[in-house]
Structures are given as C-alpha cells and as structure tokens.
Amino acid sequence: MTKLFWSIAVAVLSLAAAFGQSGTTPTATVIRAGTLIDGKSDQPRHNQVILIRGNHIESVSDAAKAKIPDDATVIDLSQATVLPGLIDSHTHIFLQGEDPAHGGYDANILTAPLALRAARATVAARRALEQGFTTLRDVETEGAGYGDVGIKQAIEAGYIPGPRLFVSTRAISTTGGYMLEGYAPELDMPKGAQIVDGPVEARKAAREQLDHGADWIKVYMTHRSWVGKNGELVSQPTLTVDELRAIVDETHGWGRKVACHAYGGIGLHRALDGGCDSIEHGLDLDAAAVAQMLKQGTWYVPTLSAYYYDWGPVDTPAGQRDRLRAAVHEPSFKKALKAGVKIVFGTDMGGIPWTDPIAQEFSRMVQFGMSPMDAMQSATSRAATMLDMEGKIGVIAPGAFADIVAVNGDPLHDIKELEKVQFVMKDGRVFRAK
Ligand SMILES: [Zn+2]
C-alpha cells in the first residue's frame, strides 16, 4: 500500500464524516476493493466496487460494470483486501487484563472508582474499533453494574468512538460461584456478578438485567476448576437446571438470548439441558455435549487465546490446572470443528490486556485446524447470525451497515494480516485510514 493512497484516504475523512447529515439523499462514497472477502461467500472476489450511501451499503459490483456516481467520494483500496467489520463475541470492556502482581481482579473492584473504570472502558472500546472490530458482544461488567449500558449509549450518541455493543450487564452466578472470595466470612464482600439462589431469585435477576438494558444474559454455569484424582479437569457447577431454566425462559420471552460460561462436566451438561444459547469457553467438551450442541443449535465461543495467559508456576496446583485447561481445550475445539458445531470468534479481551492484538485468536483457530475463511466467517456472518443481525453486520452486501475494514496483505494466505488492520469504517464513517 502506497503512502500516497493512504494520504488520499485520510483526505476523505472529513467528507466521509459529513454525509448523512442533511435531509437530502446522502452523499455517495465508493470503495474500490482489490480483493473482497464479503464475510459470507466462501471465495474472495477481485476488483469490486462498494457503493455506500449514509450508513448503508447500497451495492457491490464488478469494477468493470460499476456505475460510479459523479458526486461520489472514492476510497481506493484496490491494493488491499477488504472485509466486513469484525465481531468479537466475548469481551469485557470493564476489565483491563489486571495484573495479579498488582492485586489483579480484586484490586480493580475494591479500589477503582466507577468513573475510572468507565474511563478505561472508553479506551477499550476505542482500541477494539482501531483494530477493526466494529461490533462487540460484551459479556458482563465484572462489578461495574450497568456501566456497559452507559458506554453503549455514549457510543450511539456519538460522544465517544466505539464498536456496536451488545451488552449483558451484571451476569448471574450462585453463592460460592463468583469472586470476590477468600476473605473473612464476617465481611460482606462485593461480587463481580449478581448472586442468586433458587429459580425465583434467578428469574428476578434476569428481569432486572433485561429491564435495565441487557441485550444478552450471561450466566456462570461453572466456577472453580482443578486437576482431579485421575489427572482430569474438574469444574465446580453453579446453577441447577431449574435455576437456569427460569433465566432462559424469562430471557427468551423478551426475545433475547443467554450466554453460558461453562468449562465441562456437570455444569456444562446443566448448561445444555437448561437451554443456553451459547457456550462460552467450553474447555472440556465430551462427545455427548458436542452431540447436544449440534442437536440444539448451540453456539460455541471457545476463547482459545485467553487460556495461554497468566499460567501459575508449573510446580503449583494452580499452575498445573492452567496447563491442563489449555491442553484439553485444543482437542475440544477440534472435536467441535469436525462435528460442525457453530463456532463463533471470541477472545475474552479484558481478561487479556487491551494493548494486545484482538486478532491473535484467529491464529489459534487456524493453528487448531480451522480454515482461514471459516475463521473469518466466525467473526463476521456467523457471529451476526448469533446476534440476530444477519445481513445487517458481518457482511459486505446491499442493505448491510457500512462497517468495512481493510488489510494490506492476504489473510487467506497469512491470517496474521488481520492483526494489522489499516482501514476502518463504521456506519459509513472512516474511523481509521493509515
Ligand atoms: Zn469472559
């Protein structure tokens, strides 16, 4: 990509920012795409012209046949690979990869004022957008209450830049099922999730969260994990099937979905029996779980990369557990992939510092046998379907929002190119061009 091209692209920034603001037909913007990976098709197309009006894509056509409106602003990406804006379906903008050496998770909840956490969340949102992630499903605020609803409102009102957010507010777990823990029992410590016991409390928590703006409900179906007697990964189950069913029933009644954190064993099977829409992490999927996920159409958001961070020392129980988690995750992912489970891209960013590349997850998925095109679809059209946004995001096609990114190289050849997104448009506005 030449310097000249990018300076032209930068020059259109102000023009791009201006459209859609008068009552008349919005100004047209045209993107010339050297290679187009549209998010849905299995093959790339070459020399395409994308016509954008306002915040929508109006048409996509072969350059040879395209009619370019006289008043159109042209963005030349003819030397680049153009893709839909990417979707990360498992993030925590209210976490910043808290360093255990500096007090980790607990210090964040106990010492950071909410305004500080909100300020950091705005930076996390901007970093996601800078890296080409134009949509996030943010799966709980970790003790920051309904802060995600506020950040989403700030983005939608244009106060701060950021991706489209699907938020899940406080999340739900049971007594003994979430941090903070390990303090004197006499102390009433704050919890990173809303704690419920019994179906009545479970349903009430879901109602409260939905009432206050949750797009998804997040439930922790497992909590602690350790190495068992036979060297297997054991995970502590949390909610009962009855408790989970109350949440799922309530949430589905509102036309929304339930994301369930579940590693394996009893908690994972309760998650599936209770009707979770997506399984988060799914470190230890047995054959029965894979079969049930296929039968029920359950989404799988594996978040592979996060389990390669912050391993404890090798000679400690926690260190052994950390290594085992990663070791069972790989075959679980491969089993699910082979069986045809609907795998969606998610990272657990926030657990991972936002300074690290979000797109590193693509490399893990490809390393474990997913094709680069499949991996890209897991972060575009497939994620859009999970989010009930099929045809609106995750695809470059007429009628979709103009969420468009570009990289210089060919991600089908080297998936790491997605860690070097050079151009980002969200809602028809150029956010990044360099
Ligand atoms: Zn998470």
Question: Could you give the strand order of the β-sheet that contains 257-264, starting from the edge strand earlier in sequence?
Answer: 194-195, 172-173, 216-220, 257-264, 278-284, 299-301, 342-343
- In the reported structure, the alpha carbon of residue 139 is separated from the centroid of ligand 1 by a whole-number distance in angstroms of 6
Predicted pLDDT at 10: 44
Give residue 200 CA to ligand 1 midpoint distance, Å: 25
**CA 98 to centroid of ligand 1, rounded, Å:** 13
Cα(95) to ligand 1 centroid in Å equals: 10
Distance in Å, CA 148 to ligand 1 centroid: 14
Yes or no: say if 54 and 19 are a contact pair by the CB < 8 Å rule: yes
User: Residue 100's pLDDT is what?
Assistant: 85
84 strand-pairing partners: 404
Q: d(Cα 316, Cα 313) in Å, to the nearest integer?
A: 6
What's the pLDDT score for residue 27?
Answer: 86
Ligand 1 centroid to Cα of residue 389, in Å, is 22
Please name which of 58, 65, 63, 67 lies closest in space to residue 76, comparing C-alpha atoms. Answer: 63
Q: What's the gap in Å between 321 CA and the centre of ligand 1?
A: 18
CA of 11 to the centre of ligand 1 (A): 39
What is the per-residue pLDDT for 7?
42
Mean pLDDT of 171-183: 98
CA distance 419 to 159: 27
Q: Residue 232 and residue 224: Cα distance in Å, rounded? A: 14
CA of 26 to the centre of ligand 1 (A): 40
Q: Is the pLDDT of residue 19 over 70?
A: no
User: For 243-261, what is the mean pLDDT?
Assistant: 98
Q: Residue 403: pLDDT above 80? A: yes
Quote the ligand 1 centre to 295 CA distance (angstroms). 25
Cα 27 to ligand 1 centre (Å): 40
pLDDT of residue 354: 97
Longest dimension (CA), the chain: 74
Residue 83 in this model has a pLDDT that exceeds 70: yes
CA angle (135 as vertex; 129, 138 as ends), nearest 5: 105
DSSP 240-293: -HHHHHHHHHHHHHTT-EEEEEEEEHHHHHHHHHTT-SEEEEEEE--HHHHHHH
For ligand 1, the distance from its centroid to the CA atom of residue 351, given in whole angstroms, is 7
E strand or H helix at 376, and its extent? helix 372-378
Q: Quick one: pLDDT at residue 11?
A: 42
* Cα gap 167→250, rounded to integer Å: 17
Cα(19) to centroid of ligand 1, in Å?
Answer: 37
Q: How far away, in angstroms, is 379 Cα from ligand 1 center? A: 17
Q: How far is the CA of 185 from the centre of ligand 1 (A)?
A: 27
pLDDT tens for each residue of 290-339: 999 999 999 999 999 999 998 999 999 999 999 999 999 999 999 999 99
- Alpha carbon of 53 to ligand 1 centroid (Å): 36
Q: Which residues surround ligand 1, an ion (CB under 5 A)?
A: 348
pLDDT, tens only, 104-120: 999 999 999 999 999 99
